[in-house]
């Protein structure tokens, strides 16, 4: 168990957020955070008692911002906002994403600018710690006035409404609260608005995407190196001197990784004087293509961590006499990099598919379709159909959601980010990318065995052996979908890359030396 994380005080990283979601770290409120929370809540109470007009405290919401609400109705108003804004549709988002939404919201509220009650934050933390996670529909946010609909669903259980996932089953929230003998929370002034104003839906999808894309990009370099070996390609294009002349950080990192992955390979040494001048781009340009995707990933990571430690509520409560109604809830700062990363992830799949295709052509000593007896057998022809389909699907998902905007709230909210769609879409592309890489890895492992008795580098041989624990060499056709699923799992859970990194560490090889920013 890692050291406790202090909500509202410590800097929240992607690693911290994921660790809390997995139960490997506990998020707590220390005395300083509690003092900030209580002070902010007192400011809101003074606003109500002194009848100072503040948006969302004693006024309606959105286009109803000029409609006053009496002091006696301010609490009812907060209850109603959760009900009225719970309009999400579609399938529930993954439980881990919903849990990340809870974690990131607690951290934002604990900064002490939102007027939330301490008891409300403690109840949200109870949901996190007990793993009682609200059911949140995937669609309905335009990512501008905060992720209104998904956040409203997320916090319905606080007032005894909505549904939760608990111990693998779906329950009415009221049933679970009764089981634990807990009453619903009575929301105070502004609390409903503080709960639903913010970017935690977009942010949580971004957090998960940063982790998943990191796993894919780390795997892509190893798998690409294995394909290069199987195709008897050259490592000359990864020369450090070449990449110093065009020093993009991602490109230099990938070139370094490929040099280290291919170091002391017998296969590489066996064809030094083969006469081939240049390899196809999907082999030769891995540093440029994988590297560009890594640069996009790094940009997303940096902006996501900025957002993790931001206050995206509205209005911001500085004191009873000083409140600011602004636009910190607008999702554009994440919507754009999420769309950029979507293209970057799709391109990683695009070049992977091209390498898979090269492995099937029957060139440079490999059998056509990676089997000796084709005709009776289709060999590895049809798995590449799947990569072609997935690559094309990813291309259709690359249209940037942030390029669109539809006015809402009768024109009061006349520009919206659509970042919620950007975040969901990126994760769909990553689903496909994991399968595309799995099929390349399946094919590369098959192909590299036709180079025997020659061996690749120690790390790549270990990578091959690790895959063979799950999937055997194919002498004839079989149901390759089973193989693909098994390999996809070891890519998505990072065990494939983790295995390679463990061996590299034992050999005192740091594949990412000097590029620590590219780690999660």
Instruction: Give me the sign of the Cα torsion angle 161, 166, 170, 175.
Output: negative
CB 334 within 8 A of CB 250: no
Burial class of residue 411 in the structure, from the number of CB atoms within 10 Å of its CB (0-12 exposed, 13-18 middle, 19+ buried): exposed
Q: Which residues pair with 163 in a beta bridge?
A: 172
**Beta partners for 322?**
319
b/e map 390-405, b = 16+ CB within 10 Å:
bbeebeebbebbbeeb
Asked whether the beta carbons of 84 and 156 are under 8 A apart, the reply is no
Which of 428, 426, 491 lies closest to 91 in space, CA to CA?
A: 428
What's the rounded Cα separation, in Å, for the pair 358 and 356?
5
Question: Who contacts 494 (Cβ-Cβ below 8 Å, separation ≥6)?
Answer: 215, 218
State how far the Cα of 360 lies from the Cα of 7, in Å rounded to an integer. Answer: 53
3-state secondary structure of 446: helix
Q: Nearest to residue 42, comparing CAs of 118, 106, 155?
A: 118
Helix (H) and strand (E) counts in the chain: 20, 9
Among 55, 340, 435, 515, the active-site one is 55
3-state helix, strand, coil in the chain (%, to 5): 60, 5, 35
55 an active-site residue? Answer: yes
d(CA 178, CA 176): 5
Query: How far is it, in rounded angstroms, from Cα 5 to Cα 28?
Result: 6
Residue 368 to residue 379: CA distance in whole angstroms? 8
> SS3 letters for 133-175?
EECCEEECCCCECECHHHHHHHHHHHHCCCEEEECCEEEEHHH
Active site residues: 55
């Amino acid at each position: 168990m890692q050291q406790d994380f202090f909500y509202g005080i410590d800097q929240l990283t992607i690693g911290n957020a994921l660790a809390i979601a997995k139960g490997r770290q506990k998020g707590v409120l220390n005395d300083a955070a509690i003092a900030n929370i209580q002070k902010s809540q007192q400011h809101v109470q003074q606003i109500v008692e002194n009848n100072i007009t503040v948006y969302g405290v004693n006024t309606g919401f959105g286009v109803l911002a000029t409609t006053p609400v009496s002091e006696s109705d301010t609490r009812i108003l907060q209850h109603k906002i959760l009900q009225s804004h719970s309009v999400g549709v579609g399938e529930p988002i993954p439980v881990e994403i919903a849990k990340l939404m809870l974690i990131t919201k607690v951290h934002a509220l604990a900064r002490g600018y939102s007027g939330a009650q301490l008891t409300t934050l403690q109840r949200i933390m109870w949901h996190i710690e007990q793993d009682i996670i609200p059911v949140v529909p995937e669609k309905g946010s335009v990512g501008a006035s905060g992720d209104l609909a998904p956040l409203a669903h997320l916090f319905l259980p606080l007032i005894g409404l909505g549904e939760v996932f608990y111990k693998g089953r779906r329950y009415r929230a009221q049933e679970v609260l009764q089981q634990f003998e807990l009453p619903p929370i009575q929301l105070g002034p502004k609390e409903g608005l503080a709960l639903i104003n913010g970017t935690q839906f977009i942010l949580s999808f971004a957090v998960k995407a940063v982790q998943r894309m990191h796993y894919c990009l780390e795997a892509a370099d190893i798998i690409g190196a294995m394909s290069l070996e199987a195709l008897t390609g050259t490592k000359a294009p990864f020369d450090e001197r070449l990449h110093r002349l065009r020093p993009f950080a991602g490109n230099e990192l990938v070139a370094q990784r490929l040099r280290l992955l291919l170091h002391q390979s017998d296969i590489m040494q066996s064809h030094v004087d083969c006469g081939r001048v240049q390899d196809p781009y999907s082999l030769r340009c891995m540093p440029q293509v994988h590297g560009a995707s890594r640069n996009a990933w790094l940009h997303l990571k940096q902006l996501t961590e900025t957002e993790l430690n931001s206050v995206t509520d509205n209005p911001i409560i500085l004191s009873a006499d000083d409140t600011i109604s602004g636009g910190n809830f607008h999702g554009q700062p994440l919507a754009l990099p999420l769309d950029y990363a979507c293209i970057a992830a799709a391109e990683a799949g695009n070049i992977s598919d091209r390498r898979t295709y090269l492995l099937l052509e029957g060139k440079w000593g490999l059998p056509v379709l990676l089997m000796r007896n084709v005709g009776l057998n289709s060999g590895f022809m049809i798995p590449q159909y799947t990569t072609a389909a997935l690559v094309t699907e990813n291309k259709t998902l690359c249209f940037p959601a942030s390029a669109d905007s539809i006015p809402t709230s009768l024109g009061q909210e006349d520009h919206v980010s659509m970042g919620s769609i950007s975040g969901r879409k990126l994760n769909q592309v990553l689903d496909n990318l994991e399968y595309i890489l799995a099929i390349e890895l399946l094919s590369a492992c098959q192909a590299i065995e036709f180079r025997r008795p020659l061996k690749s580098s120690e790390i790549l041989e270990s990578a091959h052996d690790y895959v063979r624990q799950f999937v055997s060499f194919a002498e004839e056709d079989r149901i390759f979908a089973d193989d693909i699923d098994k390999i996809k799992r070891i890519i998505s859970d990072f065990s494939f890359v983790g295995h390679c990194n463990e061996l590299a560490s034992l050999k005192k090889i740091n594949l990412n030396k000097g590029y620590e920013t590219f780690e999660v």
